[in-house]
Structure formats: C-alpha cells, structure tokens
Structure 1
Amino acid sequence: MTTIRALRTYRLPERPSLIWLELETGDGLVGLGETFRGAAAVETCLHAELAPVLLGRDARQIEGISRQLLTPYVGYNSSGTEVRAASAVDIALWDLAGQRQGVPVYQALGGGARASVPVYNTCAGYAYNTTGQRRDIGADDESMGPYDDQVAFMRDAGALAKSLLAEGYKAMKIWPFDIYVPASGGHLITLADLEKGLQPFRQIREAVGNRIEVMCELHSLFGGHAALRICQALEEYGVFWVEDPLNKMDDVVGLADLRRRTRVPICGSETLGGLRPFRDLLAGDALDVVMLDLSWCGGITEGRKIAALAQAWNRPLAPHDCTGPVTLMAGLHMALHAPTAIYQEVVRATLATWYRDIVTGLPVIEDGMAQPPVAAGLGTRLQDAFKQQDGLIVRESR
C-alpha cells in the first residue's frame, strides 16, 4: 500500500521557472515536491526518465531512491535537470514520510534543534526569479507595490531597512553590484561603480545603525579581482556575509584565496548539487557559511547530509528560498532540524502575494522568527483553485 502509483506535475506558463510534483501512493497519501529553473525540461525528465523507476517502488525507501536518482549517467554533481528532478521527488517522499508518521517533516528527521528559526528578507520583488527573465534594476525603476524591495534598496535602502525593522525583520539581503557586471562580464569594477554599489550599505547604517544585519548577494557574477575589491570595500559596513562571490562556486582554490584576503564572511552556495562539492569546499577552508537549496541540491535526503558536513566543520547553515513556496517549507523544516542552522531566507513580497495562491500553508513569522509547522508532512498542499485554473499544464504518469 506504500508503493508509488502515480506521478503528477503542474506548470504555469506565466511562471515558467517553476514545476510542482505530486507523488500518490497506494494508501491514498499524496506527497508534494517542487523545483525551479528549466521546468519543462524537468517535467520531461520526471515522466520519461524517473517515472519508470518510481512507479511501483516503495515510497518508504527514501535513501535507496535518493541514491539511485542522484547517480545518473549524466547530470550529477551539479544542479542540472536530473538533480532538480530528483530533488522534487525527494521532497515529496519526505512529505509522505511525515504524513505516514503523523508528524511534521522536521520531527520525522529526528526532531528540532530549536523552537523557531530567524528569517531574513531577501529584498526581491513580486515576480523575481519566476518569469525566466532576469531583472536588473536601478533607482529610477517603477515600483510595482509596497513590497517591491528590489527597487527600494536601489532607491533608498535606509528607508527599506526601517520598513523591515517595523515588521520584525532583523536581517536583509541586497545585491546593488549586479548592474555593473555587463560592462566587463564581472571581471572589472571601477572605483566609481564600486562607490555607487556601496551607497545602499551606507544608507542602511546611517538610517538604522547596527539594528539590522545586512547580507550582500553577488549571484556568482564576478571574477576574482572584482569580487575581492567588493568584499574588501564592504568590510567597514559589517556585512553578515557575501554570498556566491565568484562565477564558479565550486572553485575551491579561488574561494579559499578570496576568503584569506578579506574579513567579510563568504557564503555558498545555492547553486551546488550533491554532497561532494560541499565536502570539497569545506575541506578546502573556502566557506564561512553553508547555503543550500533543497530543490537543487538533491532534496532533503542530500540536504541533511550537507547539514551534517556543516556541523562537522562547525559552520552555520542557511537554507535558500528565492524560488517557490514548497521549497520554502522544506527549507524551514531543515532549518528547524539542522544543528548549525542560523537563518531561513524569505521574500516578503511573495509571502504576501502569489505564494498564497499556490499552496495552503506558509511559514508563520512572528517578530522575525519562523514558527514550526504543526501539520503532518511539509504542512502545505496545492490549493484546489490552483489546480483548476485555466492554462495550467498537468501531466500524469501511472
């Protein structure tokens, strides 16, 4: 009765980066998964490559399924299509495991290491990262609403920091250097552009002092010289971390060299798939903070092993979410469980808008702290209205 009998996927044309997965078992339970980027390719992989492996398989064999799906002939050791598909499957299997035991996923993993989790607001906009098109903005861009924080941090980051503090957020992440990448492919940043990129950090400190932590995201866009110049310039602003500073975040030697030459902590990387890149980065003394995305790294099974590596090297862990609501819920469960987890990323713009249209449950945030989900499994389901909307692409394998 615990065998997988159906695999269903859902895609929305207006959000082409996202795909949702349901795994149905013989006892009538439905597990929910999600992944991000190249959704159409992931859909093909799930139905053409993985469905024949999964259908009829015991859904309780999570570790065995994870090992099989994460060692394909191609696609391993990166966040490629195969690994993203495997990640969605694994998240759904853990959702099933929690439901079957009648407990939230973090308890099925072995219980919580903390009563709640601090969150930071990634200062994105309402449709950030979901349309398949990059949005680089300036201070003169039109704001799409009160939570269009990507425009806000370029326009007046100090006012944005005050707004976040008023809502209980005690940490924020911004990326004002991205717009200077096209001029040189990220290999050069001039003093003039460096000064303009530093302005939001200066505004935050002038407006609220040290009452809010600030992270700087570099989106794997920079070469070593430009990244070092930015990191060293950020030192005086007390940034909590600089995230994904180099254009290859599996570059152990380059990251270790950068880390030795700057005082800002280096964080990485949501872009990596599988256990091995994290092992190599930690062994090479190349990271201060371990960030992982459960919809890209291999799911919760692989994520808990990456968390164990972070614990073994005494490094903090920070689950990523600037993708979708299911990944956010999965990350929260990992952040509750993992011993060294320090933050869960959220985007207040999406929490307040379209995430609510997709799923039934989202994190409850009180005074900057995400509270533990109480329902069994992930604690969220696809909304009935979402499944019935026009234009939704549904595909099923049995």
Structure 2
Amino acid sequence: MKITQVDTVHVAAYPNITWVQIHTDSGLVGLGETFRGAQAVQAQIHELTAPYLLGKDALAIEAHHHHLLHGYIGFAGSGVETRAASAVDIALWDLLGQATGQPLYQLLGGAVRDRVPVYNTCAGYTYNSATQRRVVTEGSADVAPEGPYEDQQAFVKRPAQLAESLLSEGYKAMKIWPFDPFAAASRGQAISAKDLATALKPFREIRRAVGEEMDIMVEFHSMWNLPMAVRIAQALEEFKPYWAEDPVQMTNLDTIAEYRSRVRIPVCASETLATRQPFLHLLTRNAVDYVMLDLSWVGGISEAKKIAAIAQAFHKPVAPHDCTGPVVLAASLHMAMSTPNVVLQEVVRAYLSGWYRDLVTQLPEVKNGFATVPPGAGLGLALSPALLARGDVSVRSSRL
C-alpha cells in the first residue's frame, strides 16, 4: 500500500490544531493530529516529511517512525519536527487498522480492559482555542457560557458545585490549576502567604463538599521555581492531591528528582517531553510517580508504547494527556486499551460535549467515569465532511 498524497488540514476557527491525512493507492486515508504551532508544523510536513513519505509503503510504520523522529536535527523536544512526526505516526497506525479491518488497540496487542478510567480536566469550552491559555481569577468577569461546563470558571468561583456536578456524572477525579495566576504575576518566583491561601480555597471547598469521594489532581504548568513549588506542595498536603503535575519546567530533569525528594505528594510528568530519552532519565533518577505523555507531542503511538513499556519496567503508571483534540484522544484511548500500566486517561467534558463534536464523525463515549473507543477499524473516526466544507478550512497537499 503506497503513500500517494499527504494533506494538512487547518481551520481558522481552531487555530492550534493541525490534521494530517495520508492517502494511499488503495483509496484508504489515515488521519493524524497535533496541536500548537500549526503553521510551522504544516511547513515541516510539506518541506521535509511528505517528500520522504511519498511513494513509500504506508505499512512500514516503524521504519518511518525511526526516520522522522530520530533523524539528524530537531528531535530532542516536542518542537515542530516531533509534532509533525507524531501526527504522521498516528495516521499510519490508523491506516494499518483500516487495511486490516481491526480497531487500533487490537493491533497494539489486544485489549487488556474493556473500558478506560478517566478524569476531568476542568477547562472551559474556549480554554485552548487561542494561542495563549485563558487565565481565570476570583476577580475576573465571567464569560458567557457556551454550555453547562465552564469548568475552569467553576473551579475558581464555584468549586464545591463543580465537584458535585462531576460526581453526579460518574467522574471520581478532577484536575485544577488555581496557582497559575500567581505564577504569572511573579514569573513563578514567589507566592505570598495570602495568595497561597487564596489558591488553596478550591481544594478546601471541594473536600468540604464531597469529602474524599473525589480525587484532585493539581496542575502547575511548569511555571514555578523549585523553592516555591516545594512550598506549595507542602501547603497542599492536607488535601491529599492525587498528583502534582509539572511543578517546575522540564528542562533540568535533575531538579524534578530533587523536588520529589522534598515533597510528599506524588509527582506527574510530563506532557511537554518528547521521545523516550527524557522519560528514561526521569525514571532512572526516581523523579516521577506518574508518567504523562501526549501522543501528538511525544512522537506518536509508536513512541508512546515504548515509553509505557519502559515505565512498566520501573513499576510506574502512565496517564495519557488530552486537552488538545479528538483524534489524539481516540488514539490515546486505543493505546490505553492495550497497555497494562495506563491508569487514567485525561478528558475535558466541555470539549467532548462541545467543539469536539464539530470536528469528527464520531467520538469516544465517556460514561460513569470510563471511556470506550469509537467503534470501527483503525481509530474509528474521520474528519467530519461538514468541517471540510467550511469556508475557513485550508487544505495543503503534497502529491506523488
């Protein structure tokens, strides 16, 4: 099955997302996705990636994965080369599933579970719709809700109601980031006792409302220096967070090991890392409790499976990231279905009930705190014809 055309698809209304469609001489089309830096990723794909792929066997996934992800330059982090390679890898696996008539998880080793436990990241509908994430504070004006799940606004202003709402829908875990505004104000260098108390309010109110029925993850977005990250973790101990995610920037990984040695909250890292090497460093330094990775940033399904296997050798669980797009979510769930040490999958209920529905033909089902993959071969979804017919869509093609 020969690759005959590589398309990138971009929609102005969703500026962060790039979709890749890989066409073959059999008529099958594989779908991949990555997030942020859309214009740069498209340039990478058509300048370097597509010329390599065109004319080659679409099913030689490992060969293409190695060439695109472990080549000459640009592959030490989740930059445009890695994001392009990640989207291509997801699309090639989708093609393999379609060619064999099998769901992707079957080709990744078969199911180890019939559904995947999930937690809700408390973002609102437009949280990641612009190039910069939206920051909410107690004093910021409410945005007009697009639906019932303006969860970022809720965790700052109505955390008890939010926790009760999530429990009523079967979620048993949630992730929030109330420290971010204070990190932004000081560039992560300091947080006062008063501001620390303000940021702790959501945890206190959630525990008061639902007790320990709800696990709470805390996201730091790599915004703090080491002393402040430690100070915050010590203040959080009484609320028993499930994990502290990316407490400091993932540049000096030895610092993460030092952080973990000084705190009593499990450490999760990191959606921002790419390829297996930094994850191996984290694991050999005993710097992490939970391995988080994003399939569209880490190197695709092929690399994610290798990282999960390394993590399993260290008896560490994996929790795939999704605050990006529905194709990555579907791919992550297929990996989770076939990977024993995946413990949780991130979902955003605002996205699943909102704009994700406008992008693809079908979505994973999330019910009672668990997700199932879309039925069908490969990923089980394709780009919506209505999306491709929009006036703000642009498709760029490289052909054999």
TM-score range, shorter chain: over 0.9
Q: Structure 2: any 5+ residue segments left out of the alignment?
A: none
* Cα offset, 1:133, TM superposition: 2.2
Q: Which runs of 4+ in 1 moved over 4 A?
A: none
The superposition leaves residues 318-360 of structure 1 with CA deviations (integer Å, 9 ceiling, x where unpaired) of: 0000001101111111111111101111101110111000001
Decide whether the 8 Å contact of 1:9 with 1:19 is kept in 2: yes
Which secondary structure does the structure 1 equivalent of 2:241 belong to?
coil
* Cα offset, 1:250, TM superposition: 4.2
What CA distance in whole angstroms lies between the structure 2 residues aligned with 1:78 and 1:194? 32
What CA distance in whole angstroms lies between the structure 2 residues aligned with 1:124 and 1:104? 30
Decide whether the 8 Å contact of 1:278 with 1:306 is kept in 2: yes
What CA distance in whole angstroms lies between the structure 1 residues aligned with 2:96 and 2:24? 11
Q: Which amino acid aligns with 2:96?
A: A
Q: Are residue 125 (structure 1) and residue 124 (structure 2) matched?
A: yes
Are residues 259 and 213 of structure 1, via their aligned partners in 2, closer, same or farther at CA, if it must alter by over 3 Å? same
Q: Are residue 373 (structure 1) and residue 379 (structure 2) matched?
A: no
Which secondary structure does the structure 2 equivalent of 1:350 belong to?
helix
Q: Are residue 213 (structure 1) and residue 218 (structure 2) matched?
A: no
Give RMSD over aligned pairs: 1.0
**Percent of aligned positions with the same letter in both sequences?**
53
2:90: which partner in 1?
91
Q: Which amino acid aligns with 1:283?
A: T
2:160: which partner in 1?
158
What CA distance in whole angstroms lies between the structure 2 residues aligned with 1:235 and 1:327? 33
Which secondary structure does the structure 1 equivalent of 2:4 belong to?
strand
1:111: which partner in 2?
110
Structure-1-length-normalised TM-score: 0.98
The superposition leaves residues 347-398 of structure 1 with CA deviations (integer Å, 9 ceiling, x where unpaired) of: 0111011100000121111211112433110011000000000011111110
What CA distance in whole angstroms lies between the structure 2 residues aligned with 1:372 and 1:122? 19
Q: Structure 1: any 5+ residue segments left out of the alignment?
A: none
The superposition leaves residues 143-186 of structure 1 with CA deviations (integer Å, 9 ceiling, x where unpaired) of: 43221100000001111000011111111000000000133210
What CA distance in whole angstroms lies between the structure 1 residues aligned with 2:174 and 2:305? 25
2:255: which partner in 1?
254
Decide whether the 8 Å contact of 1:319 with 1:344 is kept in 2: yes
What CA distance in whole angstroms lies between the structure 1 residues aligned with 2:160 and 2:338? 34
Are residues 250 and 116 of structure 1, via their aligned partners in 2, closer, same or farther at CA, if it must alter by over 3 Å? farther
The superposition leaves residues 203-259 of structure 1 with CA deviations (integer Å, 9 ceiling, x where unpaired) of: 100000011111000001111011001111111101100101002x24222111111
What CA distance in whole angstroms lies between the structure 2 residues aligned with 1:291 and 1:217? 12
Decide whether the 8 Å contact of 2:200 with 2:236 is kept in 1: yes
What CA distance in whole angstroms lies between the structure 1 residues aligned with 2:34 and 2:245? 21
What CA distance in whole angstroms lies between the structure 1 residues aligned with 2:49 and 2:208? 53
Decide whether the 8 Å contact of 2:373 with 2:380 is kept in 1: no
Q: Which amino acid aligns with 2:280?
A: R
Decide whether the 8 Å contact of 1:268 with 1:287 is kept in 2: yes
2:25: which partner in 1?
26
Segment drifting more, 292-301 vs 162-171: 162-171
* Cα offset, 1:141, TM superposition: 2.7
1:307: which partner in 2?
308
The superposition leaves residues 5-60 of structure 1 with CA deviations (integer Å, 9 ceiling, x where unpaired) of: 01111111222111111001111111000000100000010011111100001011
Decide whether the 8 Å contact of 1:364 with 1:371 is kept in 2: yes
Decide whether the 8 Å contact of 1:250 with 1:281 is kept in 2: no
- Equivalent of residue 233 in structure 1, options 232, 235, 257: 235
Decide whether the 8 Å contact of 2:128 with 2:324 is kept in 1: yes
Decide whether the 8 Å contact of 2:21 with 2:31 is kept in 1: yes
Decide whether the 8 Å contact of 1:291 with 1:317 is kept in 2: yes
Decide whether the 8 Å contact of 1:72 with 1:82 is kept in 2: no
2:42: which partner in 1?
43
Which secondary structure does the structure 2 equivalent of 1:270 belong to?
coil
Decide whether the 8 Å contact of 1:250 with 1:277 is kept in 2: no
Q: Which amino acid aligns with 2:315?
A: N
What CA distance in whole angstroms lies between the structure 1 residues aligned with 2:39 and 2:239? 42
What CA distance in whole angstroms lies between the structure 1 residues aligned with 2:94 and 2:369? 26
2:141: which partner in 1?
141
Decide whether the 8 Å contact of 1:360 with 1:382 is kept in 2: yes
Count of matched residue positions in the alignment of Structure 1 and Structure 2 = 396
What CA distance in whole angstroms lies between the structure 1 residues aligned with 2:395 and 2:375? 29
The superposition leaves residues 245-288 of structure 1 with CA deviations (integer Å, 9 ceiling, x where unpaired) of: 002x2422211111111110000000011110000110010000
